[in-house]
Amino acid sequence: MPEDVAKDYNEAREVSSVSARAACALLRVAVERLCGHLGAKGSDVNAQIGDLVKNGLPPLIQQALDSVRVVGNNAVHPGKMDPADVETVAESLFALVNLIVEDRITRPKMVAAVFAALPDRALQGIEKRDGPRGESA
């Protein structure tokens, strides 16, 4: 998790037992920062998610991002959510942020590291099969 995203995430974790609403809002901020790390362009988090979708973001991750965005917004506006629901939903938002980071950052880095460590002969065979950078030969 990028450092600035982790800072918001950890702050949300620290305040969640006192204020689930505050935790939801902080997780929404974390998602906005995360969109920036994913290369999203746009003037707000909604536009950034839309940009990621246009560039091939899987629907599962789009739904996770939008869930955190909408709940984070609604949790802080009076009358948008039942206060009893906020606590339950806040727990889910932590899991969603983790899912997004796992899918978009952690797994790709792990796969890239293992792939880069393959023997040169194997990498050359893969390039011969697929062409440079996975293009069709």
CA–CA dist 36, 52 (Å, integer):
10
Q: Spell out the SS3 assignment of 29-85.
A: HHHHHHHHHCCCCCCCHHHHHHHHHHCCCCHHHHHHHHHHHHHHHHHHCCCCCCHHH
- DSSP 8-state class, residue 89: H
CA 94, 71, 75, 101 torsion: positive or negative? positive
8 Å CB contact between 136 and 130: yes
The C-alpha R_g of the chain, in whole angstroms, comes to 18
Q: What's this model's pTM, rounded to 2 decimal places?
A: 0.84
Sequential pLDDT tens for the chain (137 residues): 999 999 999 999 999 999 998 999 999 999 999 999 999 999 999 999 999 999 999 999 999 999 999 988 888 777 776 766 778 888 899 999 999 999 999 999 999 999 999 999 999 999 999 988 755 44
Left if phi > 0, otherwise alpha if psi is -120 to 50, otherwise beta: which for 58? Answer: beta
